[in-house]
Homo-oligomer: A and B are copies of this chain.
């Protein structure tokens, strides 16, 4: 939620004085003068009143307003959702974050096949049409990269800090349905999931998760999943670190133990205290972020609706607390929208800002009782050299006297 890059004052609400009807009619004429029809030829001489010009015809496909500049700030390996510029809980598909290990392969849907083999009774290959023919499931859930934390300077937006989380309505087939089809043999305990990108991305998945809520998804927000999300089909493991939800999935092997792939030995592990390494840290811990007001927003004195999202890989969000005095006092925010399992959940808190310098923070609690920690608590639990994965600290926004909001770096 942002008018960033927009220099105008936020609160221009006008109180019309005088007799309502007459004053209002005058106002209609004057106050709509700013509505422009920019598709008009500049030399046409026609008034810029849109009610005088036939508008554009319906189109084969809609397009975003040219006034809305939304970008994912891509690097060579990832791109980030502009959380501060979004509303509600669904991430537009073209703004879903990306994280690839060797880019986005181009896969022809008619040639797509998924092999399931290994410790199964009947190894099988499923075409995309096969996958769509099975009973389908639709659910709204977030997807988050395990390396979704950056800090270090004041000029950082929610997109910069934690833009590697996005939410979609996913549709596909339960992996358990496919596993029932091939017949998992006794002794099976793990699956190897393999993508068809140039990294041949592979992860070991416990059979328990595969039989619980794992899906092979082929649709996102009403349409086929986007190429950068695994078109034409990907694994989706709700609540688990994003890299395990193998995109462009081509092969699932059922085995009796973890496969110890590159992505779970040299990467996606975390150092913890005592020189130990935490492996298979799949669950994304509960987290929240205030998305309004946040950098680069500038606010005005008065009532401000603090808005944000909270989520947990372990279930539902049950509470979000907000502090408007740098953590001294905490107040329970409202959760006014849908509260879904493993889903971005909106929170809101109405705050009267008196114009003083302060910090605002949010803290999520999920249904397991887990409370989002501070960075100090994370360091205390894991030690200083804990690496860059699974960092979900309470994040503070510093509000200057002039209303400018900045990130308050963690250290």
Q: Which residues of A are interface residues toward B (Cβ below 8 A)? A: 1, 3, 6, 8-16, 20-21, 23-24, 27-28, 31-39, 50-65, 67-68, 70-79, 85-96, 98-100, 102-113, 115, 117-120, 122-127, 129-130, 132-140, 169-171, 196-198, 200, 218-219, 221-224, 226-229, 231-232, 248, 250-251, 253, 303-305, 307, 336-338, 346, 348, 350
Contacts and interface: CB of A to CB of B under 8 A. Distances in A.
A102 B198 contact: no
Nearest to A197: B55
Contact of A106 (B36, B98, B138, B140): B36
Contacts of A32: 113, 196, 250
A27 B123 contact: yes
Contact of A169 (B3, B31, B89, B251): B89
Given A68-B223, A138-B88, A305-B135, A28 B124 contact: no
Given A16-B125, A88-B219, 5 more contacts: A8-B110, A50-B198, A87-B138, A135-B350, A221-B221
A124 to B, nearest CB: 6
A67 B198 contact: no
A103 B56 contact: yes
B98 A58 contact: yes
Given A117-B20, A197-B50, A221-B92, A58 B78 contact: yes
A12 B72 contact: no
A108 to B, nearest CB: 5
A58 B76 contact: yes
A335 to B, nearest CB: 11
A98 B135 CA distance: 31
Contacts of A1: 132, 136
Nearest to A34: B111
